[in-house]
A and B are shown apart, each in its own frame.
Chain A
Amino acid sequence: MAEIRVERLHKAFADFTAVRDSTFTIRDGDFFCLLGPSGCGKTTTLRMIAGLELPTSGRILLGGEDVTFQQASRRDIAFVFQLFALYPHMTVRSNIAYPLRCQGMPRAEVERRVEEAAKILRITELLPRSVSGLSSGDRQRVALGRAIVREPAAFLLDEPLGALDAEFRELMCDELRALHDRLHATTVYVTHDQLEAMAMADVIALMNDGVVEQVGSPQEIYDKPASMFTAGFIGSPPMNFIPFRGRLLPGDRSVQAGEAAVEIPEAREGTSETDLMLGARPEHVRLSARSQMRASVVEAEYLGTNQIVTLATAQGTLVKARVPSEVRVRPGETTGLEFRSEKLSLFQRTSGRVLRSALHERVAHG
């Protein structure tokens, strides 16, 4: 097993820059997610780690060894694609054994590894069957089996659950994470689905437009977004942004947002009067008749576990609040908004960058 280091990685295709100056380290044994919208450079990054693409500049180290220009087949890495390409005319056993047979491994050893991989994936009873009759979940397990038998230093997975329906995806997330906990193999996982990344990863690198926006644990990225992009990409529903014009001094513990004075985590940097954005997660918004920040209820969406209430402020900004199911609200009624002040973020609207505060002190920018 191995640590993967990516240093100042850059990739350009003609006049299009896919990946810009990316640097991050994937610790040995971590489940690492490259997350971002389509076209952000996450798959290109993964393909460079695999050796399927050569960087324009920068280095890749695998277990301390520089592999930047090493052939894919000589890197001790297994790749699992979104569309699991299995051999339809072969049995599950032959499909899993295939990469080892190609290496010319002795039959007994192949047998031992296939049995073990099947046991880990709980598909032992499927071994003699043909892959053509399998469900999509079982096919994905076989594709994983083919990666596992090689006992590689690292697994690279490119949207392996993208082709599955939502209900099944959730199940496979649990399964993949449990598998990782048994194998402890360094895993790099590419996805555009923030829920998958949040559910499985030890560390997430969020990419946007070729740039790594932020690297951190799921909770760090969720609680302390470094930019409006991160705050808006992560979360379901995502973070609310309430625009206002204001100024800030280091040490301030509140801001004047329109009519309302809003308490915030102590500011660690200031700004002269400019366009600012108050960022609040839906679960940190409360409805309070007393608050000066007035809002009218647009809609309430009951989810059982809780409900999402959409409100419109006097300026017309839509704000979503996650509140207990028991709270009864009616569309059209007027109330006020309150926030869990220690969880709020402030952003500079033009740059989208977060303003440092007691909450955001140790944010790792990409």
Chain B
Amino acid sequence: MAELILEGVSKSFGRTRAVRDLSLRVGDGEFVVLLGPTGAGKTTALRLAAGLESPDTGSVRIGGRDATFDPPASRDVAFVFQQYSLYPHLSVYDNLAFPLRSPVRRVPEPDIEKRVREIARLLHIEEKLQNRATQLSGGQMQRVAIGRALVRKPAMYLMDEPLSSLDAKLRAEMRIELKRVHREVGATILYVTHDQTEAMTMATRIGVLEQGRLVQFGTPREIYQDPSNVHVATRLGSPGVNLVPRDLFPDVRAPVAAATIGVRTEHVRIRKGRNGSTSGRVRWIEHLGDQSHLHVRVDDRADVVTLVDPDTDLSVGDEVHIEMVAPLFFDARGERVRP
């Protein structure tokens, strides 16, 4: 495995600037997830790393070598796409063996068999090896698609939303599986998704992209606890961070430039009764089973959502006092301001 370094990479399509001055280092054995909404430039960044696009400016280095203008085939990377494209007429075994049987590689057949069985064991599809690809469930097909990337021991893996076509239950299983594979193989992975849960649970580091720019790069904990702007704060956390106008809470000590207060649902403390300016009325209690979301209307202007125990004695219409722990402050442009 090898490290990947993007340095000052930009790419435009016509007048659309898909990626702007992107610098990013994926260390050897790291699992980096690029997170962002549609159009943020994540897939373009991945395609630049793969060599499926060439940058307008900047450089791409793989394993210490300048690969900026290398064709995809000579970069030694394996790509996993959102839509698994298996050969339907071939067995699972032959699908997995396919990349190794390429004439340029000339891997001896006994070595191929050893490697295919190893990967099948890793992905728990050993007993399916003789099945036709079409006889598999969606989750099994996606495992074969990932397996086909893994059989080759490339310098790194590039994955473009590989789980998004699976249902919620399978996605949850595959998240754990990919993480295990990453650990056991020691693979370098660059992974693209718009799903914050995938990013939070699998990444060693997350890169948050917004309109082609990398706005923050750090561990899931760093990004969740210490977001650099409103965009990053809202991208992570479920339920989402509460954003309220600063003047709604005049008692909270805040930097002068603060226009918006951001507070995570688990950091809102509420108590029955009212206490001057920072109180509101319970508008709606959402029972989600493991916990309840309490929606509190403040000054008829903003809703603050907080987590309460399902056994709470609060009910709709109750007046409550709101206290915020570890609030985040943002200026009028949405940039973080620190006290």
Contact = CB atoms under 8 A, between A and B. Distances in A.
Interface of A: 166, 177-178, 181, 195, 198-199, 217-219, 222-223, 234-237, 281-283, 298-299, 301-306, 308, 310, 322, 325, 331
B168 A236 contact: yes
A298 B237 contact: no
A305 B264 contact: yes
A236 to B, nearest CB: 7
B266 interface: yes
A302 B168 contact: no
Interface of B: 168, 172, 175-176, 179-180, 183, 195, 197, 200-201, 220-221, 224, 236-239, 264-266, 284, 286-291, 307, 310
B266 A305 contact: yes
B201 A177 contact: no
A331 B181 CA distance: 13
B312 to A, nearest CB: 11
B221 A302 contact: yes
A198 B290 CA distance: 11
A219 B175 CA distance: 28
Given A219-B289, A219-B310, A236-B168, A303 B197 contact: yes
B264 A301 contact: no
Contacts of A325: 221
A281 B290 contact: yes
6 A-B pairs with the lowest CB-CB distances in the bound complex, closest first: A222-B289, A301-B201, A304-B224, A283-B290, A219-B287, A218-B287
A331 B286 CA distance: 34
A308 B202 CA distance: 12
Contact of A301 (B176, B237, B239, B289): B176
A305 B265 contact: yes
B287 A298 contact: no
Given A181-B284, A219-B310, A223-B310, A301 B175 contact: yes
A223 B309 CA distance: 13
A192 B183 CA distance: 35
A198 B288 contact: yes
Contact of B237 (A177, A219, A281, A304): A304
Nearest to A237: B172
B238 A305 contact: yes
B220 A217 contact: no
Given A302-B201, A305-B237, A234 B290 contact: no
A196 to B, nearest CB: 11
Given A302-B221, A303-B197, A177 B284 contact: yes
A235 B289 contact: yes
Contacts of B179: 299
Which of A166, A199, A302, A306 gathers the greatest number of chain B CB atoms within 10 Å? Answer: A302
